[in-house]
Structure 1
């Protein structure tokens, strides 16, 4: 029942030709404030089956974005050499000499388990290169908050 369409709220921001890019905060700020109130304070709700009221809390569990929308919402560049939101500044991407396009091929073998055969594969990926780099651990909540300030 809770997953039927009358109980869902869909919010979409469709950019016009004058795309706000990183000014998306103006549109999202009221939503974020309301979500914070719903999580911390809750809202008085009536349960008709039990005929009683309770304080209901709510949260935004996830969003579904394409990469440009992810970049706008997170304020992380999703283009160019720093375009990978997982690698961040620890990327090995570079620009191709002809065409000035960002090149990401073979940047993500480090995220495979250490004993994965792709780490040793010299033919399918960058020629004669074995992946020895180990992916850094995911950032903690505190590290992310410190980095944002």
Structure 2
């Protein structure tokens, strides 16, 4: 785990914490905090421990909790027992809240957004405080439980969508000297001839660059492909359940890297017993809002490989799907021609 963060991604390839920067630009607060957190993650689990660092142990423990459905109370009790068993000076947090806070600060986090059971709306923005769907009238809550004291109220939503904010993910991509250099490979590293070896060699990419010269002038700006499809996460087809991820693929990376699953960027996870079908647009709002913000406004990002800040922007060039999913993404399940775009208001 530490090697992945510190060596594999070259976190300290251009700087050492505490040293004065050669660049006039200061690091983003988020990147600086990230460096500190990674440095803290190198802390020994207890004095003299060589097998686990604090970060390694907590990530493994949280993974077991999620895989085995361990409750928060059970996790707290197990964590307390482990702390008592370890030698004096151990670095574990006291409870699950502390472990989750540590992992979330590193970037392993997401936003939970309530959704209508019938895929009508997301309860956000103008619907953030609604208690029922304004379209179909279905209650937002599956159950509402009141505590023994009569004051605490625990509400369980009908459906929850997980959203992974894109800006933070891209900023972390440039916090590494290795991955930041890979993002520029399409401009600086590829062979430029008449052969198509990379999406950058395609007519579509070149046409886009010719139209949007302000975007293409910054080689670090990211071009994405978008894919969406469903699968049964339990591997048991007898269970009527599916999960629908919306994935972004950064095509700036070299071809032997960009199509690896580990380099896909997870944007949204849609749980449910059935496919959202033509209501996929309801959930696509989250990804599209992220992309629009990055296209229109951008985000100031620190590039570790160049030791400077730049305004990072992003664009969506392609979508990847089979024909049934292509129909769902285009709303109209009857006419889904990708050339004439007739009656396909979502394309």
What TM-score results when the alignment is normalised by the length of structure 2?
Answer: 0.22
What TM-score results when the alignment is normalised by the length of structure 1?
Answer: 0.47
Determine which structure has greater relative contact order: mean sequence separation of CA pairs < 8 Å that are 6+ residues apart, divided by chain length. Answer: 2
Max radius of gyration: which structure? 2
Structure with greater proportional helix content? 2
Structure with greater proportional strand content? 2
